[in-house]
Structures are given as structure tokens and as C-alpha cells.
Structure 1
Amino acid sequence: MRLGLNLRYLGPLGAGARPRDSLRYVREAERLGYSVAWTAEVFSSDAVSLLGWLAAQTSRIELGTAAMQIPARTPAMTAMTAATLDLLSEGRFRLGLGVSGPQVAEGWHGVPFARPLARTREYVDVVRMALRRETVAYAGEHYRLPLPDGPGKAIQLGMRPRRKDVPIYLAAVGPASLRLAGEIADGWLSVFFQPEFGAESLAELRAGRERTGADLKGFDVVAAVPVATGDDLAGVRAFTTHYVGGMGSRRHNYYTGLMARTGFPDEAERVQRLYLDGEMRAAIGALPQEFLDRTALLGPADRIAERLQAYAEAGVTTLSAMIFPEHVDQGLATLRTLAEALDKAGVG
């Protein structure tokens, strides 16, 4: 199992993070042997700009998006971006994609959220066609290239990509989306992965792989895991509460459903209700410690090492740390503690 660094709460520039601090984290991760650093986007900074800046100032660590929002870009634009970032990083780019949710897709990007799985399948088809430098003529339900009865013509990507097979990852939560990731992607971007339920998730991925005659060999199972090596769990609690309570509507929240499916239905409903009613402090207090213990790495290196073994045994191949430091030196120390714990676990 490899280590990664997820910059979700370290890199979004709209949240006030300083770019040079993000660079310090990524350079330290590179020095420690972390395999990949991921950028993210919601509706503050984009995932691409910071990644290009980091590519120019690193040399070994791979760089990925976790995830670029499918509603934000046409598939052709995503292929152009992937080819460019892979060239700038000298072959170190990983393309992570996600559908986001209806609030962001429809409220921010003005794109319908209906049938996200079918839309994703077509989107990845077009991205792969473009990266292979095929002339892109596609007649899907959601994407038609070129548009019929107009002046457009089928076009080929105008640059030669460094790689035609840039690895594609899908962010997925539910069983159907997991099967789709296994079928059409090279890796899965997970959040709130619980080793205790890992077999169920991998069974869905495996079912998707089997549709193409493949297995999970070489398929990258990426778990984005909050890490806190001290007693202060405020950042981890706030992050988890925000996703379970607020990343969606009362009727549609992937993360509320995930928490409910893994043994906490009443608690998930309560956290969401309190959060959406504006009672943030109560929502944070309603989050069960057991759920945090299952979905985060908490405590000293020895305790974290035990959990790392559980993640590796559950099938995780890349564990990407999400950290919530009060200052940069604390964050750098957390990255070092995690690397030490991986050595102790003996699963690296």
C-alpha cells in the first residue's frame, strides 16, 4: 500500500490557503516517498491550476485530481487538460473525475444532474477517444459530437499526448457507481472507506471489472482518509459532519446514505437534520466516535500503524491523507508520523 496526500483542505485557494504552503506539503510528501498528491475542487479554486503550478516544482511525486467535476467541463476540454498536465508533469498526471452533486451541478454549473452514471460512461468514452487522438465522432444520449445538422465537424486532438492511456479514476460512493468505476476506470477514489466494509465495496468493483473480462490486479483503490495524530479532532469532526450533513439535500446525500448503510442509520439522519437546520455545533456533537474511528486515522503512530494494516488487508492500494493542521509545521509533522506508521505496519 502506497501513501498519498489529498490537498482538499490544504490547497483550495478560495479557503485562504497559501500556495507556497501547499507546495511545502507536497515537497515534503515527495521527500518522504509518498506516491501521489491530489488536488480537489468544489466551487472555490479549481483542481487544475494549482496542480500545474505544483508540477513545475516537483519531480517524482505523481499528481492527480480528486476530483475534476464532470459538470464543469466538456469531455473534450477535459481531454485537452489531461494531455497538457501529463505533458507538463512529464507523465505524472492522474485524471480523477466525479459527478459532484445536484446542488453544484445544477446550481453552480447549470448542468442537469439527471442520470449521472450514464452521463459519466459517455464522458469517459469521449475523453479516452480524444486522448487516443481518434477523430471524435460520438452519438450518445448525453453527448453528441459533432452536433447534428450544424456546421461542426469531427475533430482530432491537435497535440500528441505524452501518454494515450492517462490513468482515469472515478469518485464513487454507491454500489452502481462502484460497478461503473470497476468497468470503465483504472482506479477508484473513495471517501469514508471503512476496512470493516471493504469486502462489499471491492465486490462491486470486481463485478464491474468482470464485465470487461478483467480483475482487480493493477486497479488502484484509493482511500482519502482524515488523519489526526494528536488529541484535537475538531478538523476531522467538522469535515465528516459537513459531508454527512451538508453535501446534498435532505433527499439526496451520498454520504448520509453511506453512513446509514454501514451501521449508523439513526445517527446519520440526526446529523443531517441538525446540520440542515443550522445547528452545526449539535450536528458535530451528534457524530458517533465509532464512525470517526472507522473512517479516520487517529492517535499516535502505533495506533495508526494497526489501522493501516486493516486498510491494506481490506484492499486499499493508495491511502491518501487528509490533514487539518493549525499551522504548516504541525501538518508536516503529521505527514512524517504517517510515513513512520506505514513503516511500522510493514505494508508499504
Structure 2
Amino acid sequence: MSAIGLVLPDEFSHFSLDQTLHFAERADDAGFHSVWKQEASGSNGLLTLGAISQCTSDVRLGMGVASVFSRTPALLGMSAVTLDRLSDGRALLGLGVSSPPLVETWHGTEFERPLRRMREAMEIVRQVTAGGTVEYEGEVFDVGPYSMALDPLGDVPLLNAAIGPTNRRLTGEYADGWLPGFTPLSAFRENLSDVRSSARKTGRDPDDLLVAPWVPTAVDEDPDRAEYLARYVLAQEMAMGYNEQVGEYGFGDAPDEAHDRFRAGDREGAIEAISREMLDDLSVYGTRSEVREQLGRWYEAGADVVVAMPSMAASFEEILDLLDALGPDDR
């Protein structure tokens, strides 16, 4: 099987920090390409990855996704270089614009000009991670000149978690990779063409971009349990606000219904609201052999790495089973 990554289960899935580190160690032992740490209202993602860097040796360490509103570009760049140093060159920096509820309610910052902010943040982070002098005058940021006391190992890859078409074009122009979440397989190839076309227009080689979609994934020899786990993670994410994005792909009322029911406390109703079409187009689930076959379709559509997103309803043992099932064949 081609390269596989893992979104690390953490506090949102009711796992302790020690258990999160254990999952990262197991992914490292199993030959995974990368592990990714989310960051919302739980543990600090970059600090957690710093700890993981000391108990792993080969797996790449991805911040997924760092908001360009919650940290300054200078701090993002310094953090990326520090993690890269700690991990001997294994750092990946996933960047995103987040959403108005998170930016305004959780961080107390105005959600203004997100795409312009993303573009300028990527340009500044590039300067910071290169070391030397940083100087930038943009429409959102005006920084420097100042000198960085850094000794980078090399460029830390920047991946943009772009959703909309304008942001996908920014990815092709400025980022090293694309880190989309909750994009249906049926639309993935076309959306990827936006990224690659933009790269070509700016004189970049689109084949140099790392394409790493996040895909809800559930493995169980009991097909009903695997389906339930996949439905749960989709229902949870619709409640987190992805219903608007997913709804644009023609799934009818299902995304909004799942959102409303989950937010109202009717989790089982939200799970039932996930349509079969949504389930099959947005997630990968079933027995080990079925999941490997389904993952193959994502690679065929252009993914370099599929980042498996476990269900928040999965138990500790089910996460370990998932890690065992998805480990590359040649480990």
C-alpha cells in the first residue's frame, strides 16, 4: 500500500496525552509516513509533536492544522524550525485559515481577510525558516527587518489545508503541498487539478507538491461496527462546521441535518442522518481488505499520502487495530 498518515487521536477522542504519544510510537513502529496533531481546545499541537519527536525515529511529524490567526507567522516559522531540529528533519507544517467561530470565539481575533492572511503568512514563514534576515511589507503584516538566530536544517514543507477554489490556487502558488479535509473522492481529482494548474501557471512543478487528503477511516471485521465508526466521525465533523463545505457537493439536506442533530445532543440521530452517498464518498470503512481497496482509489485519484482520520468513537484497542491494519506491507 502507498504512504499512509494518521491524525492522532487526542483529548477530543477522550484519550490522554500519554495515550496520544503511544499511538505516535506505534505508528512509527508500523512504518507510517506521518502523524498529525490537531489543535483546538485541548493540548498544544506543537508542544505535543516536540514530545513525540523524542520517542520516535522515522515517522514525519505534521502540525495539522496550525491556524494563521492563532500564531504570528514569525512564531509559526520558529516553531517549525525548532520541531525540525528536534526531529532531525521530520517536521511538516500544515497551515489553515480556521473558521470564524474558532478565531473569534476561542481566540478573540477578528476573522478578516483570511486568504490574504494565509498568503502573507506563508511568505513570511518561508523567510523565517530560511534563517537570516526577515523583512516583509504586506497588506496584513508589516514585519522587520530583524535577524533570526536560527540554524535551519533545510526548508520545512508547508501544506495548505485549502478548501475553496481561491485557496486551492494559493496552494499551487505558494505551498509545498495540499492538505484537504472532507473533500469527496468524486470531486478530489478535479479539485487537485486546480492546485496543479495554479502551480504550472507560476512556473512551479506540480509533481513536487505533496498531496495528502485527510480521510475518515474505520477498520473492523464487523462491517456494522466499521460503518458506525465512520458515520460517527462524519456526524461529529458536520457539527464542527464542515456541513457547509460538504453541502456544496450535492448531498442534499444530510450534512445540515447531521449538524443540527449532533449540536442538539441527538448523536444517534446525527449518525443516522449521514447518507449512504456521503459515507461512501467521504470515508473509507470496512474490513482490512475492503479498506485497503478503497484507499487505493484515493491514490489513483492523485493522493501521495492518505491521512487516516480515526473515529472519535473508537476505543483504545480499535485505534491499535487500525494502526496494525494500515501499516505498509513492506514494514
- TM-score computed with the length of structure 2 as normaliser: 0.91
- Measured after TM superposition, the shift of residue 16 of structure 1 is 4.0
Q: Compare 262-271 and 95-104 and name the one that shifted more.
A: 262-271
Change (3 A) 1:18 1:302: same
Is the Cα contact below 8 Å between 1:15 and 1:44 reproduced in 2?
Answer: no
1:299 pairs with 2:290: no
Q: Compare 124-133 and 274-283 and name the one that shifted more.
A: 274-283
- Paired with 1:274 and 1:332, the residues of 2 have a C-alpha distance of 30
Change (3 A) 1:301 1:265: same
- Paired with 1:224 and 1:259, the residues of 2 have a C-alpha distance of 14
- Paired with 2:293 and 2:240, the residues of 1 have a C-alpha distance of 30
Aligned to 1:207: 197
Q: Compare 259-268 and 118-127 and name the one that shifted more.
A: 259-268
- Paired with 1:317 and 1:236, the residues of 2 have a C-alpha distance of 22
Is there any run of 5+ residues in structure 2 with no aligned partner, and where? none
- Paired with 1:139 and 1:130, the residues of 2 have a C-alpha distance of 14
Is there any run of 5+ residues in structure 1 with no aligned partner, and where? 147-153, 249-254
- Measured after TM superposition, the shift of residue 258 of structure 1 is 3.0
Aligned to 1:123: 121
Letter in 2 for 1:331: I
Aligned to 1:311: 298
**Which of 21, 29, 34 lines up with 2:19 in the alignment?**
21
Aligned to 1:237: 231
1:225 pairs with 2:224: no
**Which of 240, 243, 247 lines up with 2:240 in the alignment?**
247
1:262 pairs with 2:249: yes
Alignment of structure 1 residues 60-209 onto 2, 5 Å? 60-146=58-144, 154-163=145-154, 165-209=155-199
Is the Cα contact below 8 Å between 2:215 and 2:284 reproduced in 1?
Answer: yes
Aligned residues: 325
SS at structure 1 position matched to 2:50: helix
- Paired with 1:311 and 1:51, the residues of 2 have a C-alpha distance of 27
Q: Compare 234-243 and 117-126 and name the one that shifted more.
A: 234-243
Letter in 2 for 1:272: H
- Paired with 2:36 and 2:264, the residues of 1 have a C-alpha distance of 32
Q: Deviations over 1:129-188 (max 9, x none)?
A: 111224222211111114xxxxxxx2111121122x110011111111111112111111
Larger RCO of the pair (alpha carbons < 8 Å, separation 6+)? 2
Q: Deviations over 1:296-326 (max 9, x none)?
A: 1111122112212211110011011122364
SS at structure 2 position matched to 1:72: coil
Q: Compare 15-24 and 313-322 and name the one that shifted more.
A: 15-24
- Paired with 2:53 and 2:35, the residues of 1 have a C-alpha distance of 10
Aligned to 1:150: none
SS at structure 2 position matched to 1:331: helix
- Paired with 2:58 and 2:326, the residues of 1 have a C-alpha distance of 19
- Paired with 1:75 and 1:331, the residues of 2 have a C-alpha distance of 34
C-alpha RMSD of matched pairs (Å): 2.1
Letter in 2 for 1:207: S
Change (3 A) 1:136 1:40: same
Change (3 A) 1:77 1:201: same
- Paired with 2:21 and 2:42, the residues of 1 have a C-alpha distance of 18
Aligned to 2:43: 45
- Paired with 2:178 and 2:166, the residues of 1 have a C-alpha distance of 13
Q: Deviations over 1:261-292 (max 9, x none)?
A: 32213322333344455544433321102211
SS at structure 2 position matched to 1:3: strand
- TM-score computed with the length of structure 1 as normaliser: 0.87
Is the Cα contact below 8 Å between 2:251 and 2:277 reproduced in 1?
Answer: no
Percent identity, please: 33
Change (3 A) 1:184 1:30: same
Aligned to 1:151: none
Aligned to 1:11: 10
